[in-house]
Structure 1
Amino acid sequence: MGIIGTGFGGLGMAVRLKAAGYDDIVVFERADEVGGTWRDNTYPGAACDVPSHLYSFSFAPKADWSRRFAEQPEILAYLREVADRFDLRKHIRFAAEVTSAAYDEDAGEWVVRVAGGEEYRVRALVAATGQLSRPAIPAIEGIDEFAGEMFHSATWNHDYDLDGKRVAVIGTGASAIQLVPRVARRAARLELFQREAAHVIPKPDYAYSERALLALRRVPGLLALSRAATYLALEPRAFAFTKFPQAMALVQRRFERYLAAQVPDAELRARLTPSTKIGCKRILISNDYYEALNRPNVAVVTERITRIEPTGLRTADGVLHEADALLLGTGFQANEFLAPITVTGRGGRRLDEVWRDGARAHLGITVAGFPNLFVLFGPNTNLGHNSIVYMLESQFGYVLQAVDRLAAGARSIDVRPEVEECSNAAVQEAIRTTVWNSGCTSWYTTAAGRNTNNWPGFTFDYRRRLRRFDDAEFVVTTADESVSTAR
């Protein structure tokens, strides 16, 4: 078994495989430590927007999260603990960036090549590269000419001292709203270049008291109860995103009240009022973002950036905004699943060519023509309302059933093209009436407007669909290459 990545997906899959008795596992990691996006994103203020008790594995609960919404260092420490607790490090090949994976039809194996030329052969390959692993650099004229310090939020330069500097920040997404308050406290001046205003609502965050932590450790079932209560509180929100977008009116009013209370200046408040429907783009949570934008050393610039010059950013009104540092809070290339890995399936078909018009996979996991390849956190499995760890755990069990079939004698397992097509048609039809399809441009969609990222329904429904691996949906070949649909 081969697994690419050591974030929540890769580590969790390895744990489940080992628990099922599979020990012949190799995990490829491009960096020198586990953690995925929580290893890479170390910018000031980095934190999760899902409550800690639910943003963790059910098979590795943690009773001593310091606060309701954990910050990056604590989440990374948790993932390291998981790797150590389940003895995963002996399976991990660090500094092993996968460059290509090709299916050998004769051998029924995936040939995985890593940077440096090493080659591995595995019966099945699990891609756990995630949707938020490749920083998106804006295509602005002159960006390479900037003479000051420039870095993306996912490649933060901690050696650069921001104190007293003139700082420009591009972007108003989830990363930007977390880093802006921290940077604004240090910079002499911060200019936030906003293309579109975001919907930001309060974050119900707090530190757990010593008494609460003691109870979570000592009272049997209390942590499990907290996890279940959190899930039950979040899951109904899917109704507003996917089934009845009109319900978003309640969230809209909450946003309007919060913005009015936080930003007394009418002109600034107008700049921070989105033109899109709430929920179409990711709803953000923060308790200090608007407060930071009220600071006298902070300005929100809504004029379009026309080019970047060595000393600053030129906007459409002709003004040059001089800056010592340029920080890119511009998110990730979320639509380019598995890129830049070259993945080649049956008959020499390349996955990037198959996905030219947008990534798609049966239940977000399997792709026709790519046998024994399983994608975690794949197309249309992202969420706007609950924990992605819950989705991943649903996928672990499904993939494990497929691996069991390979262990029992199957040579290859390939989803039937008509099954994949039907599955994706149903997903896209469901997305058509969601709030995500209400006219905005977001990282959920491709340039052509196809939503390749979000699951248009409830997470319990997704888990129900993955509870049983349906052999009839796949072409299963045995060692003698005869085809069957039964185990």
Structure 2
Amino acid sequence: MVSFTINSETGAPNGVSSSPFHLEDYPIDDATRNLKIAMIGAGFAGIIAGIRIDQKLKNVDLAIYEKNSSVGGTWLENSYPGLCCDIPAHCYSLTFEPNPNWSSFYAPGSEILEYLRSVSQKYKLDRFIRYRHTLTRADWDEATGQWTLSFNLTNEEGVKVGEKTETADVVIQGMGGLSRWNWPDIKGIHDYKGTKIHSAAYPGTAEDQAGKTVAVIGSGSSSIQIVPSLQPFATRVDNYVRGSTWIASPFASTELIKRRPDGLNYKFTDEEKKAFASDPAAYKKFRHGMESELNGVHGCTIKGSDLQKGAVEAFTVLMKQKLASKPEIAKTLIPGFPVACRRLTPGPGYLEALVEPNVDFISNGISRITETGIEDNEGVHREYDTIVCATGFDTSYRPRIPIIGRNGTNVQDEWSDVPTHYMSMAIGPDFPNYFIVNGPNSSLGSGSLLVLFEREVDYIVEAIAKMQRENIKTMSVKQAAVNDFMEYIDVYFQKTVYSEKCRSWYKKGLETGPVVALWPGSCLHAITALKNPRWEDFDYTSSSEQKNRFTFLGSGWTRAEMDPKGDRAFYLNEVDIPATPQ
């Protein structure tokens, strides 16, 4: 233990500082340091961040950089036939912006996009958004304590028309994981002469396939929504499925089954929507019940749990019943792995479409794609007018652009295998003042993702407020904290069904490997864990040239005292009155 002698005249420690300390000339609660904040992306993450930063932080310069010409993110870029929310739409709304006007239980993607646009307009976020700015690079400057961000500027057609650089004290990454897509690695895919479509860039409607023969490749959530949408219009739809997948009964389905016992999507009546809008308390109770039900199925993700066993039994019965007229499909499609090992989707209408006479289910695997169609692994060639690749996204979390931190460290290299991070929101000590919403391990196996986004944004806003309040120049997570969190993730998932052998985007599209997409716990676990930041897990540097950590205490005054009209008893308006014990 180091001890210091005290100056008997001043009370200050002797020999602590080699240079004299002086008080900074500002009140303690005056955030004198203006911070430039760059938010990357204007999807749900960017919209939540824009609202909360504007609400809770003062003396900041916020810019939201969006590569497209509109807000919306994933819901702007994805527009394939049948696109809809795969949890009840009333649960897929911001907690502070409920929407009583959803048209159906599973709202279509176009409606979710309009919801995002309406929220953005309500909070006037256009004053912060810089449209058609595509981030191409981010570089940390240790001397200035800022990030330099490089952008390509594009026109309405997405064509590059210029370049631009900006600086920021804090960067928040909100680039969605379901926007980066590639063509599948299938021999001959670029030889095909017909209409080739990726689900992530679908141009047009289901009606466009009227009278045509169509192949849909994939068995994920996109394919499960596309197949029943095309079936009524196409002459023939062939669904090429590489593996097996569980088709679930509807999530939070009590309210749905009341209205549609068959579990198919339900359209709310005008009377129901008016009732929701006119009675906020009743609507809140309606939503609360569904979200409580949605958050009650986490036990299904634990190996050998009663919920897991019950789900396997129930979904097996469900799938066999709906595929009864084509039982050979059930033998192939019903998995041998646990429920939820792959992302679950209720898929209303998918199984019903598979048994229609103009739909074929092909599980032989694809050998190659030719100029006119697809040849399967048994040598059978089928010709198509259109091939739809519903083959997913790049879910490795490895950024497609260089993000260069301290010591020349590039996130592309750091995350070339497993994306290591702290609580899904910080990368490591070489990346100060850089935060992430919807980063690695921040998706959910059950529950509403948006409430987690909100909590991540709240955490980041608190961190920025701390930087302002305490005159912090850099804030970077400690490597030991990263290591401990990654160890927790590894141990947690060993007891879950996600560690079983199944091909899943939770594991970067692999059958086995670390779970890089999901939070290690339930939705409620996540939002509870992020409620109170652990400031001790970070290292800090001060923006003051003085070494004393209490420089931020300023002049010894508050703003209220220095303002002639200030409230010098403000604390009486902040009283937390305890309940009297009974």
Q: TM-score, normalised by structure 1?
A: 0.96
Q: Does 1:313 align with 2:363?
A: no
Counterpart AA for 1:112: L
CA 1:483–1:418: 2 relative to 1, 3 Å: farther
- What is the match of residue 351 of structure 1? 411
Distance of 1:357 and 1:135 partners within structure 2: 18
Q: 2:540 aligns with which of 465, 472, 476?
A: 476
Q: Does 1:222 align with 2:258?
A: no
- What is the match of residue 40 of structure 2? 4
Distance of 1:458 and 1:485 partners within structure 2: 39
**Helix, strand or coil at the partner of 2:271:** helix
Map residues 387-398 of structure 1 onto 2, 5 A cutoff: 387-398=448-459
Q: Does 1:283 align with 2:283?
A: no
- What is the match of residue 382 of structure 1? 443
RMSD: 1.9
Counterpart AA for 1:181: P
Counterpart AA for 1:208: F
Distance of 2:194 and 2:41 partners within structure 1: 33
Deviation of residue 457 (structure 1)?
1.1
- What is the match of residue 30 of structure 2? none
Distance of 1:154 and 1:291 partners within structure 2: 24
CA 1:5–1:375: 2 relative to 1, 3 Å: same
* Structure 1: gaps spanning 5 or more residues: none
Residues 37-81 of structure 1: per-residue CA shift (max 9 Å, x gap): 111111111000121222111121212112222111110000000
Q: Does 1:197 align with 2:244?
A: yes
- What is the match of residue 267 of structure 1? 328
Deviation of residue 284 (structure 1)?
1.5
Deviation of residue 118 (structure 1)?
0.3
* Structure 2: gaps spanning 5 or more residues: 1-36, 153-161, 251-255, 257-264, 553-582
Is the 1:434–1:456 Cα contact (8 Å) retained in structure 2? no
Distance of 2:538 and 2:208 partners within structure 1: 55
Is the 1:177–1:289 Cα contact (8 Å) retained in structure 2? yes
Deviation of residue 461 (structure 1)?
2.1
Is the 1:472–1:486 Cα contact (8 Å) retained in structure 2? no
CA 1:100–1:292: 2 relative to 1, 3 Å: same
Counterpart AA for 1:127: Q
Map residues 69-218 of structure 1 onto 2, 5 A cutoff: 69-115=106-152, 116-158=162-204, 161-203=208-250, 204=256, 205-218=265-278
Residues 405-424 of structure 1: per-residue CA shift (max 9 Å, x gap): 22221101100000111011
Worse-matched range after superposition: 63-72 or 376-385: 63-72
Is the 1:245–1:435 Cα contact (8 Å) retained in structure 2? no
Is the 1:474–1:485 Cα contact (8 Å) retained in structure 2? no
Counterpart AA for 2:527: R
Is the 2:298–2:445 Cα contact (8 Å) retained in structure 1? yes
Counterpart AA for 1:415: V
**Helix, strand or coil at the partner of 1:151:** strand
Is the 2:236–2:359 Cα contact (8 Å) retained in structure 1? yes
**Helix, strand or coil at the partner of 1:118:** strand
Distance of 2:132 and 2:535 partners within structure 1: 37
Map residues 366-381 of structure 1 onto 2, 5 A cutoff: 366-368=426-428, 369-381=430-442
Distance of 2:182 and 2:442 partners within structure 1: 20
Percent identical: 29
Distance of 1:416 and 1:31 partners within structure 2: 35
Distance of 1:440 and 1:227 partners within structure 2: 33
Is the 1:362–1:423 Cα contact (8 Å) retained in structure 2? yes
Worse-matched range after superposition: 453-462 or 298-307: 453-462
Is the 2:444–2:522 Cα contact (8 Å) retained in structure 1? no
Residues 257-279 of structure 1: per-residue CA shift (max 9 Å, x gap): 21122112222221222232221
Would you say how many aligned residue pairs link Structure 1 and Structure 2? Answer: 486
Q: 2:505 aligns with which of 429, 438, 443?
A: 443
Counterpart AA for 1:48: C
Q: Does 1:28 align with 2:28?
A: no
Residues 93-114 of structure 1: per-residue CA shift (max 9 Å, x gap): 1111111111111111111111
Counterpart AA for 2:543: A
Q: Does 1:249 align with 2:309?
A: yes
Worse-matched range after superposition: 475-484 or 246-255: 475-484
**Helix, strand or coil at the partner of 1:255:** helix
Q: 1:462 aligns with which of 526, 539, 555?
A: 526
Q: 2:479 aligns with which of 417, 438, 459?
A: 417
Deviation of residue 20 (structure 1)?
0.9
Distance of 2:445 and 2:363 partners within structure 1: 26
Distance of 1:465 and 1:349 partners within structure 2: 29
Is the 1:242–1:456 Cα contact (8 Å) retained in structure 2? no
Worse-matched range after superposition: 441-450 or 297-306: 441-450
Distance of 2:274 and 2:210 partners within structure 1: 39
Worse-matched range after superposition: 396-405 or 244-253: 244-253
Q: Does 1:13 align with 2:49?
A: yes
Counterpart AA for 1:281: R
CA 1:483–1:260: 2 relative to 1, 3 Å: farther
Counterpart AA for 1:357: D
**Helix, strand or coil at the partner of 2:505:** coil
Q: TM-score, normalised by structure 2?
A: 0.80
Distance of 1:114 and 1:98 partners within structure 2: 4
Distance of 2:517 and 2:49 partners within structure 1: 21
- Higher CA-based Rg: 2
Is the 1:152–1:327 Cα contact (8 Å) retained in structure 2? yes
CA 1:227–1:355: 2 relative to 1, 3 Å: same
Distance of 1:165 and 1:134 partners within structure 2: 29
Worse-matched range after superposition: 213-222 or 167-176: 213-222
CA 1:150–1:484: 2 relative to 1, 3 Å: farther
Distance of 2:551 and 2:525 partners within structure 1: 25
Q: Does 1:401 align with 2:462?
A: yes
CA 1:459–1:268: 2 relative to 1, 3 Å: closer
Q: 1:333 aligns with which of 379, 389, 394?
A: 394
Q: 1:302 aligns with which of 334, 350, 363?
A: 363
CA 1:269–1:463: 2 relative to 1, 3 Å: closer
